[in-house]
């Protein structure tokens, strides 16, 4: 579909949850099956109200658990419907078994994950523990830094995952409370423009097509399991990045808002850089500008696409940087942080001599302050000046008590 002009509507004051719910309404989702959990509840609650008020013709199905929610979504998607839901934290953990079923059967479900800490101890605030838990479940995964992006990326998610050359499910992540419950101005699309962008749903291999019978969720064992995973499923992921970029390009023509697989801020001449995800990107950008005013060439890289992991785009974004800090918002449990490891992997065969260090921050909703980032950029500059990492390879930001550092 070609877009010749921007199709803007109004600026609304929405939080990330309501922005996502509005996107589901505009996409005219057929089925939302859900079991509510903080802080994602308002997404499915909002869709339920839209159905009750007659704004959509879809079905809202309340089930007894998050495992059942995704199971119902799998059934509805296999039957040929446009399907979505939302979850967080412990609910996401309960849902994990079924995530592999959805991706293995190539069902284009959209799942909003409002990121929250995993117990124990119980915590309802945001970090990326649940995001990291499902990183290898075979889902496309996009990351929103703000309510605007939660709205936009939901529309983009449907367009990408329903493409007949892809047909893989897609998660849209946003930070619990920091994005989900923070109201900001959101530039919206008209209903017609949003639905036109997403497009009419066209089922493929649906179980209700009796003229073309199919089997879902078959058993393979050692005879075909390897081929299914390596040749079909993993090979599919290699085709996703171009599809996402094409959807980003179409969305820019429609809305004027530009997205990239890897977002770069002040990176053209950066000597030092922070790599992070979620709302931390906006904070880091603000501090980087302040550091530049003090003579430090600071930049920020934010991951817009988490899966498939954009190895080559990351390596290109970090080319020429002298000192890099990777911020992980999940407990590594005796290892280096997941994002640190993947950035290291992306840079391993790249033509770079960048110094790489890791930082654990923000667990259970702990604030990442501007002061933390000022200190971090100064430390990165000290590393660059010394030509080596001057502290431990991995440290903790903002934890109370004696300083924690290891590796």
pLDDT given for residue 8 in this prediction: 61
CA-nearest of 139, 183, 147, 156 to 27 is: 156
Q: What is the pLDDT of residues 214-259, one digit of tens each?
A: 888 888 899 989 988 887 778 899 999 999 999 999 999 999 999 9
pLDDT band at 403 (very low <50, low <70, confident <90, very high): confident
Query: In what helix (H) or strand (E) does residue 372 lie, and over which residues does it extend?
Result: helix 370-386
Tokens 């058993």 sit on residue? 219
169: left (phi over 0), alpha (psi -120 to 50) or beta: beta
User: In what order do the strands lie in the sheet containing 110-115?
Assistant: 59-62, 31-34, 83-87, 110-115, 170-175, 140-143, 305-307
**The pair of three-digit structure tokens given for residue 160, joined into one six-digit string:** 């990408």
pLDDT band at 333 (very low <50, low <70, confident <90, very high): confident
Domains, the chain, ordered by start: 8-255 (3.40.50.970), 262-406 (3.40.50.920)
Q: Give the span between the Cα atoms of 381 and 296, in whole angstroms.
A: 7
Q: Answer whether residue 6 shows pLDDT above 70.
A: no
Q: Which segment, 8-22, 206-220, 359-373, is predicted with the most confidence on average?
A: 359-373
Q: What is the pLDDT of residues 261-289, one digit of tens each?
A: 999 999 999 999 999 999 999 999 999 99
Average pLDDT, stretch 301-321? 97
pLDDT given for residue 2 in this prediction: 44
β-pairing verdict for 140-143 and 305-307: antiparallel
pLDDT given for residue 1 in this prediction: 43
Rg of the Cα trace of the chain? 21
């Amino acid at each position: 579909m070609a877009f010749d002009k921007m199709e803007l509507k109004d600026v609304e004051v929405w939080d990330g949850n309501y922005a996502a719910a509005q996107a589901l309404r505009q996409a005219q989702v057929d089925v939302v099956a859900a079991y509510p959990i903080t802080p994602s509840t308002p997404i499915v609650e909002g869709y339920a109200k839209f159905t009750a008020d007659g704004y959509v013709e879809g079905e809202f199905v309340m089930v007894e658990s998050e495992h059942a929610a995704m199971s119902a979504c799998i059934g509805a998607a296999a039957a040929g419907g446009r399907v979505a839901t939302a979850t967080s934290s412990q609910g996401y953990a309960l849902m994990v078994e079924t995530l592999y079923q959805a991706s293995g059967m190539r069902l284009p479900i959209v799942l909003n994950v409002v990121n929250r800490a995993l117990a124990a101890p119980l915590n309802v605030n945001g970090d990326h523990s649940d995001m990291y838990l499902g990183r290898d479940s075979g889902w496309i995964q996009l990351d929103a830094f703000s309510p605007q992006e939660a709205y936009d990326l939901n529309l983009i998610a449907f367009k990408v995952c329903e493409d007949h050359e892809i047909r893989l499910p897609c998660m849209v992540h946003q930070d619990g409370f920091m994005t989900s419950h923070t109201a900001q101005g959101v530039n919206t699309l008209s209903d017609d423009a949003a639905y036109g962008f997403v497009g009419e749903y066209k089922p493929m291999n649906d179980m209700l097509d009796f003229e073309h019978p199919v089997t879902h969720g078959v058993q393979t064992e050692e005879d075909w399991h390897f081929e299914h995973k390596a040749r079909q499923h993993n090979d599919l992921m290699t085709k996703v990045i171009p599809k996402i970029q094409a959807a980003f390009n179409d969305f820019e023509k429609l809305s004027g808002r530009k997205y990239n697989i890897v977002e770069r801020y002040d990176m053209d001449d950066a000597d030092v850089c922070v790599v992070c995800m979620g709302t931390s990107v906006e904070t880091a950008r603000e501090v980087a500008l302040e550091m530049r005013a003090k003579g430090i060439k600071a930049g920020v890289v934010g991951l817009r696409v988490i899966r498939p992991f954009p190895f080559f785009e990351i390596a290109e974004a970090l080319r020429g940087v002298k000192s890099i800090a990777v911020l992980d918002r999940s407990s590594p449990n005796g290892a280096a942080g997941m994002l640190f490891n993947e950035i290291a992997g992306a840079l391993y065969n790249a033509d770079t001599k960048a110094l790489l260090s890791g930082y654990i921050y923000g667990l259970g909703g702990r604030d990442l302050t501007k002061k933390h980032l000022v200190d971090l950029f100064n430390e990165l500059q000290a590393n660059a000046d010394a030509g080596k990492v001057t502290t431990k390879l991995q440290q903790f930001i903002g934890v109370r008590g004696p300083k924690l550092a290891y590796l």
